[in-house]
Amino acid sequence: CYLVLGAELVALVQLLVYVGAVVVLVLFALMLTRSGAGEVDTSMGHRWIAGAVGAGVTVLLGGTLVAAYGWAGREIAGPSNEQIGEQIFGTWVWPFELLSLLLLAALVAAVAVATTGHRRREGQR
């Protein structure tokens, strides 16, 4: 809905915030429910290769962005910060609040499910 209003920055920020929240939620769920199944590979060879590939991709993407837009970037015509703030904290405040409550409920449910499973395993021992 922000894209329709011409507020691409707010749409991008909202997307990044909620994707980050979902990633954190999944990480919490994995950390709380992970069992000790399987051996951990401690060889350093794969880590160096993964690090080199990650660094190469970062340099490639950074170089592509600098080549396309330069160091100074581009001047963008759009709504001012004041207009964006009025939209976020005026018109669209309730959808933001409802989504934050939904994410909070999902986090509480994930913790409840993880701790219930942990209590069951301790009771079986």
Region for 3 from its dihedrals, namely left if φ exceeds 0, alpha if ψ lies in -120 to 50, beta otherwise: alpha
Threshold 0.85, pTM exceeds: no
Tally of domains within the chain: 1
Instruction: Give the model confidence (pLDDT) of 84-110 as tens digits.
Output: 888 878 888 888 888 889 988 988 888
Structure-model confidence comparison of residues 34 and 125, the more confident one: 34
Asked if 1 contacts 14 with a C-beta cutoff of 8 angstroms, the reply is no
Instruction: Give the model confidence (pLDDT) of 50-81 as tens digits.
Output: 899 999 999 999 999 899 888 887 777 888 88
Examine residue 4 and state whether it is found in any structural domain, yes or no.
yes
Domain interval for residue 16: 1-31+93-120
Examine residue 106 and state whether it is found in any structural domain, yes or no.
yes
Examine residue 76 and state whether it is found in any structural domain, yes or no.
no
